[in-house]
Amino acid sequence: MAHADGPSQDDERALLDEIGKWLTRDVEPNVMRMEHADEYPIAFIERMKEFGLFGATISPEFGGLGLSTAGYARIVARISETWMSLTGFFNTHLLMSRIVEMHGTEHQKRYWLPRFASGEIRGAIGLTEPGGGTDLQSIRTRAKKIGNDRYAISGSKTWITNGVEGGAVGLLVKTDPEAEPRHRGMSMFIAPKADPETGIAYKGFRTGRKLPKLGYKGIDSGELFFEDYELDAERHLVGGIEGRGFHMAMSSLELGRINVAARGVGVARRALTEALAYAQGRETFGKPIAEHQAIQLKLAEMATRVRASELLVEDAAAAFDAGRRSDMEAGMAKYFATEAALENAIEAMRIHGGYGYSRDFPVERLYRDAPLLCIGEGTNEMQRIVIARQLVARNPA
């Protein structure tokens, strides 16, 4: 939903403009080096905190910017044109925040959201386990009640972006492994590594490896282990009730899918920009390759994919901001824009010829970053299933 007390469209445009200048001046000159070194971009994270991006979609009431989803998506697309990894630092953080804002108790909202909005606590979303990501209802991490208000959590998560470096995780667990249907036995906890007030580390929460990745460098995606990790319900069990965790996770994923779709727009757009520039400068057989029909066909298809992706993201963001059910729209945007990113990345590589395969040009990074978008936040296989189910539900014969 759009925030009633959020900024005007002019304010959103001004912020986008500021971020664009920062990306051009400070980020772009360093991306190639930092990405290839897989360097954790701490200075960029601090700057994104100053822009307020860790509270981008949190209500101003709780210290956030309260951006519209459309405005937020434009920022995500713009950052992804320069370095997609940077959007990962606040994406899952904002999903965790959204879960608290939508489903938390008043006490939880007041306690957690200002800390999340300022970036004082940067967080993650912990759904996937070694046993599986798509079939979330089969997770095994267990929270056992050990007193009136206390739970002990044991289990493990994997691929958790910001899990190793961040301070807290929106943690999906089983509170009743025997429940049928299975989702009724699932609950959501806000799981910090340390007490936010004293800074004292909690026992039983251990981080594992940062997983080595093809692309999406700079940001950590890693393993988390829990062994009799104790939390109280009042502050940590979202909404103070068991059995709603699956629903909470799913409701946050609509926003997550719009974020990933917007990243697709950014990557697809950058691939087009690089290809357009290169095709006009590189000559073969006495003319720029942009004048060869085979290259023109590619450029035309790439540009069309970019525009179609932008429109699908705007459509999904508008539905989301209007408070309408938007899983189909978000699914279409995510599916199309991320496949567009993948196709544009490989076409940009082909247009660059041998240089497209070189680490001296940015297109090889786009080529390594794009496939993640087709997997994360629900695979594109699953997106098509979601779209088809909604199509049938909205159009009963």
Ligand X SMILES: Cc1cc2nc3c(=O)[nH]c(=O)nc-3n(C[C@H](O)[C@H](O)[C@H](O)COP(=O)(O)OP(=O)(O)OC[C@H]3O[C@@H](n4cnc5c(N)ncnc54)[C@H](O)[C@@H]3O)c2cc1C
Least distance in Å: CB of 214 to ligand X?
9
Among 132, 177, 281, 353, binds ligand X (CB under 6 A): 132
Binding to ligand X (CB under 6 A) within 328-357 occurs at none
**Distances in whole angstroms, Cα of residue 199 to Cα of each of 45, 66, 161, 194, 204:** 21, 28, 22, 5, 15
Find residue 157's DSSP bridge partners: 224
> Minimum distance between the CB of residue 4 and ligand X, rounded to whole angstroms?
30
Interface region with ligand X, contact rule CB under 6 A, candidates 102-110, 131-139, 251-259, 340-348 = 131-139
Rounded to the nearest whole angstrom, what is the least distance from the CB of residue 198 to ligand X in the complex?
27
* Residue range at the interface with ligand X (CB under 6 A); choices 22-30, 118-126, 230-238, 362-370: 118-126
Q: Is 123 in the site for ligand X (CB under 6 A)?
A: no
The DSSP-derived string for 6-60 is S--HHHHHHHHHHHHHHIIIIIHHHHHHHHHTT---HHHHHHHHHHTGGGTTS-G
314 counts as catalytic: no
CB of 388 to ligand X, least distance (A): 11
Q: Contact between 168 and ligand X (CB under 6 A)?
A: no
Instruction: Please state whether 144 falls in left (phi above 0), alpha (psi between -120 and 50) or beta.
Output: beta
Contact pick of 22, 216, 246, 367 for ligand X (by CB under 6 A): 216
Residue 66's nearest CA partner among 123, 15, 105, 120 is 15
- Interface pick for ligand X out of 71, 119, 126, 222 (rule CB under 6 A): 126
- Cβ proximity to ligand X: between 68 and 92 the closer is 92
Cβ atoms of 365 and 35 within 8 Å: the answer is: yes
**Cis-peptide, bond into residue 371, ω within 30° of zero:** no
CA–CA distance, 342 with 79 (Å, rounded to integer):
17
Give the interface size with ligand X as a residue count (CB under 6 A).
21
The smaller minimum CB distance to ligand X, of residues 117 and 160, is found at: 160
Q: Is 84 in the site for ligand X (CB under 6 A)?
A: no
Q: How far apart are CA 120 and CA 95, in angstroms?
A: 16
Nearest to 205 by CA among 84, 124, 146: 124
Q: Which residues are catalytic?
A: 377
Q: Which positions lie near ligand X, rule CB under 6 A?
A: 92, 124-128, 132-134, 159-161, 213, 216, 221, 372, 375-376, 379, 381-382
